[in-house]
Amino acid sequence: MNEKTSEIIESLFKTYYIRNKQKIFEPPRLRNREFAFQTFKSEGMIRHLAFENAEELRNYIVKIIPKHAFYSTAIYVLPSAHDMDEKGWIGAELVFDIDADHLDTPCRNQHDFWKCITCGYRGRGKTPETCPNCGSKNIKAYAWICEKCIAKAKEETLKLIENFLVPDFGINPKEIMVVFTGHRGFHIHVSSKEYTKLSSEERREIVDYIKALGLSIDKLIPFRRSREVLGLDINEPGWRGKIARKLYDFLLELEERKDEVRNFLGEKTATSLAEELNRVIVEIMDKPPKWTTLYRILGRKKLRKLLETLVKEEKCEVDEKVTIDTRRLIRLPGTLHGKSGLPVLILDLVSLDNFTLTKDLSPFKGKAKVKFTEEIPKNIEVLGEKIAGRKGENMKISLLAAIYLAGKGLVEIEGIE
C-alpha cells in the first residue's frame, strides 16, 4: 500500500470514528484490560495501554485512527505494565475463533488464487507448497471471503453454541457474546465466572472435546456377541449421545444423501440400508437402542466409516491457539478491520442466524479510482461486486471494494468520488 492509498483510507477511517465514536464497545472491567493498536503510520503494535473509562478509550481511538484495534481477553491488576508477569493476571474470558480459512469450503477453488513471486506463474484454489512451474516456495496467496464462506463459518458458530457450549458445558446464552471479526469469521466470548480461571491446559481439554480429538470410534462400536447388538442412546451425555442423534438424523436424510452414501458405503450396502431403513430406525430408537439390523447390513468396517463421517460433521472447527491463550489480544467491537474496511460487530443469536456478507455491512459508499498492482482473475467478487483487472490497469470501482482490495495489496487508490 503506497502512501497516498494509506492516507486516503486513514481519512475515511477517521470520518467513521468521529461519526461512530459511541459505537466502540466498552468491555466489562475496562480499566483492567490491556489495549493495543496498529496505526496507518507504523507497522508495529502500540501495546500495554490502559484506560480509566470508555470515553477516554474512544477519544484515544479518534485521536490516533487505528488500522487495527485490540483488547485483552484477560483481566489484569496492572494492564499497562510492560512485563507480562507484572500485569497480575486475574482471569480471562473463554474465547473461540471460527475462521472461514480453517473450514473446508468448496467455493475456495473458485475465488482463492495465488502467484509465484519467482516466475509469475498463477493458479486458483489451494496454494501449493512449491510452484508447479519452477519449484519455488516463494508463493503469495490471496485468500478471499464470500457469502458462502461466511455462511459456513456462521453455521459452525451456531453449532458451537447450540451443540456444545450450552448443552454440554451448561453455559448461559446470556453469558455468550458473538462478534463478527470484520473479515473471515466470528469470535465467541464466554464470560461465565467459572470459566475465567481456567488454565491453558484446561482450556485445551475443552477444545479437544469440541474438536473430537482423541475420540476412539472403535470403543463406541459394539462387538456382535449374540443375536442382538446394543447401540448408543440419543439421551446419553457427551459424544455417545451426539453420535446417536447424528445417526438418527442421517437415517432420516438418507434419501437426500443417497449419492453421498453410495460413494462411501458402496451401491449394494446403500441399497440394503434404504430397503430396511424403517426397521433400522425403529431399532435405534428402541429402549434400549439396538444396532442389530444396522450392524448386519454394514458390518463393523463400514459402520466405523459411517460413524467417522458423522463425527466429522458434528465436531466443531475452532482455532485452538486462540482458546488456550489466557492473555489473548482480540478485536475490539465497534472498530474497523484494516484489511477489509468492515466493522467488527456484536451479534445476538437472532442477528447471527440472519447474518449475511453483503455490501450493506460497509459504512463506505461511493466510488474510487484505482490502479491494479496485481492481476485479479475473472469472476472474483467483493461483497457481491464482480472485480477483474490486469496489473497496471486503471478502473473505477465501489469504495468498499477499493478498500478491501487495497488491504490485500491488489490495488492502489488514486482518488474517491
Q: Indicate the residue type of 142.
A: Y
Q: Which of 371, 342, 265 is nearest to 309 (CA)?
A: 265
Q: Using one digit for the tens of pLDDT, what is the confidence trace for 204-214?
A: 999 999 999 99
Q: Which three cell numbers, joined as nine digits, stand for 107?
A: 467455493
Among 149, 170, 105, 179, which Cα is nearest to 351's? 179
The pLDDT score that the predictor gives to residue 225 is: 63
Please tell me which of 27-31, 228-232, 346-350 the model is most confident about, judged by mean pLDDT. Answer: 27-31
Q: Confidence class of residue 164 from pLDDT cuts 50, 70 and 90?
A: very high
Ranges 69-83, 144-158, 288-302, most confident? 69-83
Q: Is residue 226 scored above 90 in pLDDT? A: no
Catalytic residues: 97, 99, 319
- Contact (CB, 8 A) for 265 and 305: yes
Kindly state the cell numbers that stand for 146: 464470500
CATH architecture of 364-417: 3-Layer(aba) Sandwich (3.40)
Cβ count near 121 (within 10 Å): 16
pLDDT of 223 strictly over 80: no
Q: CATH assignment of 108-142?
A: 2.20.28
The CATH number given to 3-101+146-205+320-363 is 3.90.920.10
Contact 117, 140 (CB under 8 A): yes
Mean pLDDT (whole number) for 301-322: 94
**Ramachandran angles phi, psi of 38, nearest 5°:** -120, 130
> So where are the chain's domains?
3-101+146-205+320-363, 108-142, 218-314, 364-417
Q: Averaged over 23-46, what is the pLDDT? A: 95
**Residue 130 pLDDT more than 90?**
yes
Mean pLDDT, the chain, as a whole number? 93
